[in-house]
A and B are shown apart, each in its own frame.
Chain A
Amino acid sequence: MVSRLILLTLSTALATGALADEAPIKIGIPVGLSGANSVVAPSVVQSAELAVEEINAAGGVLGRKLELEIADDASGAAGAQKAFDALVFQKEVNAIITMETSAARNAGLPIISKGDIPYIYTSFYEGRSCNPNLFVNAWVPEQQVPPVVDHFMKSEKAKKFFLVGSDYAFGRGMLQFSRAYIEKAGGEVVGEEYLPMEGTDWTAIISKLKSSGAEALITSTAGGSPNVTLTKQLRGAGVTLPYGNLAVDEGTAKSMGADAAGIFISASYVTSIDSQANKDFLAAMGKKFAGELRTPNDLSVPQYEGVYLYKAAVEKAGSTDTKAVLAALAEVSYTGPRGTVTMNKQHHAPLTMYLGQVQEDGSVKIAGTFENVDPGEQCPGL
């Protein structure tokens, strides 16, 4: 990649007063400002900025201000290496908190280990990424798939499922788990098909789906473009089966217009969560970013909470010392828009999952709430 490492320092902490003499705590955010993740990245940055602003306004962490260092990882491994390198060794950040592609996360992990700092990963992913310095506060397949499958089996009386995905680690990981879960629950998988990530023509798969006798459809594509392409072609072909989409977010659903209506999603965050914490969060986001606001989503909210979890861990540890912070990260919790989150299950977090259904106007209506869904055995070694 022509690298697009960018380092824009958003010094929200233009220090005034007493806090000025203590060096700020730096949080590094390598994120896909370009490449596949560039659609969602701005919302992630925004929520991190809000968290930092709130924390600094309330006196910082251990009397020190928080400061963000943002770098573009170009949504890929090579870019992530540059970004992690710059953040860990040039900017010397105290921790990395970010959502990234799995390739970018994997590329960054060796650098995290070398630099020995905490890394809070805030993106849902296919699971089983284990590193002593890595904590995850977003969902894994074990948490996301069951609500959709259970709902289809109970409410829609579906027994036969058809699975469609993009051919990459996340797509395959999700559907592999889905298949196992469906079969365990007494259902049947009548088809499982993948298309390359750059693939644009789902014709053959859709025709197979239509002739398979499936009663429900579960898809797990790469986010954004492939998802939209698949959904448009599904709707064009008149597919009206119960449709669970494991990769759609509210923003993407909006850009699909009427085509997205009726899609079931399963997430740890939807904007319509009816809690005071969520309402306050949305109000604060709206106030801070106004016209520039990117709709908060299941990737940006864990980012917001990740900053708070790190704050809690540093306060518990009493310093930014890596060893102490890592020990604390496994214990502290934070109650935010998604409810109370603690990363105490092998560096992963039990989460409240929401089953949502996309409405005509692109909004998501909550059709079911599943509390404290366990991430399962992610990293037995940790």
Chain B
Amino acid sequence: MAERRSSFNIRAWLLAGLAVLALLLVLFGPMFLDRFTLNVLTRSMIYAMLAITVDLLWGFTGVLTFGQAAFFGIGAYAAAMILTHMGASPALIALAFALAIIVPMLVGLVVGWLSFSYKATPLYATVISLVLPIVTTQVVFSGGQWTGSSSGLVGYGTLPFGLVGFFRLAGICLLVLTVAAWFFVRSDAGKLLVAIRDNEARCAYLGLNPQRLKIALTTVLAGVAGLAGFLFANSSGVVAPEITGFVFGTELVIWTALGGRGTIIGPVMGTIGIDYLSANLSGELPFLWNLVIGTLFVAMIILLPNGLAALVAKFLPAKGGAGAMRLTNLAAAGAQLTAPKEEALLSVKDLGKTYGSLKVLEGLDFDIRPGELVSLVGPNGAGKTSLMRCLSDGTEISSGTVRISGQEINGRTPNEIVALGVGRKFQVASVFESLTVADCLRLSLAARHRPSLVTRESDLALPAAALDILRLTGIDRMLERPVADLSHGLKQSLELAMVVALEPRLILLDEPTAGLTKTERTTIGGILQKLTRELGIAAIVVEHDLDFVRTISSRVVVLHQGRLVLDGTVEVVANSELVKTIYSGGAHG
């Protein structure tokens, strides 16, 4: 505990001070604020809660959504409909409260399931988030007596709090949500959001299920929006179709953008500031005010995508290291050591891959046993990368079967295959550019060790093999460095360490040495040999450098025009006339 406390830096103290100030304002504000201001601020603070949900989805996770207004509206309407049609006894208010959260969450679950399927584009979630408020508004309009149609619902009983009570309630809810969100995004689990935004594919290849995570996030945040809706329905005493609408949804995004996406505090300040200002200062011409907001918004998106908060942050002391991150040795799972060497770890039968009418792979058959280091060679366009893809993503397989430890992987998504013990390293280092080295490494463990939702662990326990890589390459001294600052070679090594940290039984490496220096190459080669010989991991390496292949491989597979033409020891392949013909005839490099 003591360590964690010391890890708070100046920024954290600043923010803590801000939180205390906000709390004082919420508690004592009603003493000196006039009624009008209280009313406007109550609403602004409820909207700010929504802005936080938009920020978590868009700013952190990269899902641009216009749909939070719909969840807000659904929550508000669920509450208002109960209170209008059934009454406002304490029990019914409790029911309204429950439904205001549960109904949006159910809708959120459906929306999440629709929005985030494997291979859906990021734009698709935005498309759905546009359709949702349109449909919701239409349902409200068609609801007749039940929803009050265009006139909305009004005059129902509410929580008995009065103006000041609602101000404090909204303020405290906002404060709690802000602090919770602030801790969450800084926690180990919160890093997942940024990881998904940065590199969703890498998340999947770390065994995480980005779709499921996004669905869960959408569902939870729909519930939060519903809670805000409940507060709104109570404090304002009226619900109307416009609060469910797409236009309100876009305004939430505008407020979030102006405040500063990806900062939690920014959107809160932005929303309260703009909503309050627009209620007071917009002055003579409403159209002019909108023009100003519109212009600011466009300028902000182009010039200052991270909003005003980013500007402020520049003047604050730089993010300090969050205390010393300590590397420790994770007890090896040991499963791979006990696996009998004779049994095939990977078994490929008649594998084929086609793109439209183009056959990229055809009739591949081979097995790989534990401890083997198989190099995959062949000229460009031979199908090496396609084969790697088919081995790590079952949805890519067009025909034939691939089995890992006897289990067929056809149709399975990468994260499911990772769970079978397959790790994949990409040709271009696939890491999380916005995170630190330690965060990246910790994410490799996230699929097996549920990360904390609140705190950031100061211990980083990695398998010995991964630690070796870090030490050999010197990355162990850069744990708190942002990944974006690492050299190309170090990123490659980091990715390899991340993959090894998964403790895979089969590791797929696509040109692990491309663009590396001679020393780096030797280091990587040594690591690979150690992994296979000492730990019994099987490895498939796509490699162009035949010298490198010769030093490390236990076996070589040659692909040519999508077919397996040779499979044997280094000597057999090196002396093969066929291989020479292929390489001299095929494109070089």
Contact = CB atoms under 8 A, between A and B. Distances in A.
A–B contact (CB under 8 angstroms): yes
Interface of A: 1-6, 8, 33-34, 72, 74, 76-78, 81-82, 85-86, 89-90, 101-103, 105-107, 109-110, 126, 167-170, 172, 196-197
Contacts of B36: 85-86, 89-90
Interface stretch (B88-96, B188-196, B278-286, B423-431): B278-286
B284 A72 contact: no
26 contacts: A2-B274, A2-B290, A4-B278, A5-B280, A6-B282, A6-B283, A76-B240, A78-B43, A81-B236, A89-B35, A89-B36, A89-B39, A90-B35, A103-B150, A103-B240, A103-B242, A106-B148, A106-B152, A106-B155, A109-B155, A167-B141, A167-B149, A172-B149, A196-B138, A196-B141, A197-B150
A78 B148 CA distance: 15
B182 interface: no
A231 B294 CA distance: 33
Contact of B40 (A1, A8, A85, A197): A85
Contact of B238 (A89, A107, A172): A107
B150 A4 contact: no
B241 interface: yes
A174 to B, nearest CB: 12
Contacts of B237: 110
Q: How large is the interface on B (under 10, 10 to 19, 20 to 34, 35 or more residues)?
A: 35 or more
B461 interface: no
Given A74-B286, A103-B150, A170-B150, A1 B241 contact: no
A200 B188 CA distance: 49
Interface stretch (B111-119, B243-251, B440-448): B243-251
Contacts of B286: 4, 6, 33-34, 72, 74
A5 B154 contact: no
Nearest to B243: A78
Contacts of A74: 286
State the 5 A-B residue pairs at the shortest beta-carbon distance, nearest first. A4-B286, A77-B240, A168-B150, A90-B36, A102-B151
A271 B142 CA distance: 35
B166 to A, nearest CB: 12
Interface of B: 34-36, 39-40, 43, 138, 141-142, 144, 148-155, 236-243, 247-248, 251, 254, 274-275, 278-280, 282-287, 289-290, 293
A82 B236 CA distance: 10
A167 B141 CA distance: 6
A326 B243 CA distance: 33
A101 B150 contact: yes
B144 A1 contact: no
Contacts of A3: 275, 278-279, 282
A167 B138 CA distance: 9
B14 to A, nearest CB: 30
A280 B523 CA distance: 98
A31 to B, nearest CB: 11
A3 to B, nearest CB: 4
Contact of A103 (B142, B151, B274): B151
A311 B243 CA distance: 37
Given A3-B279, A5-B279, A167-B142, A89 B34 contact: yes
Given A103-B241, A107-B236, A77 B152 contact: yes
Contacts of A169: 148-151
Contacts of A33: 286
B141 A168 contact: yes
Contacts of B154: 106-107, 109-110
Contact of B243 (A34, A77, A126, A172): A77
